[in-house]
Amino acid sequence: MTHLQLFIWSVALVSSGQLSLIARYLLWPRIHRITHCPWCWQEVGIGNEYPAPWSSTICAFHDRQLRTQSAARRLARQRAATATRKASTVMHHAEGVRG
């Protein structure tokens, strides 16, 4: 084996090692998220293929998304309750003024 062949093989081996490390650190979190989060399975359109006992594992993306939706619903309920209370207070006050 000549020095040139040895150099080419060593460069190819080091390059493939670097590519595998880059792929692992860039792609593995996404692959792991998709394989373990039932909401990701639903989003991709294969939710009915997910194993029967649904996992309680949720990825960070869907965790943030669900928390934001929950906070928005909670705020809407609080605003509706406040508006109802204000309306009933005004009605009771108006009835008291008449009588």
Contact 47, 38 (CB under 8 A): yes
Which pLDDT score is estimated for 91? 57
pLDDT of residue 28: 72
Task: Determine the number of helices (DSSP H) and then strands (DSSP E) in the chain.
Answer: 3, 0
The per-residue pLDDT for 72 is 95
Can you tell me the mean pLDDT for 70-91? 82
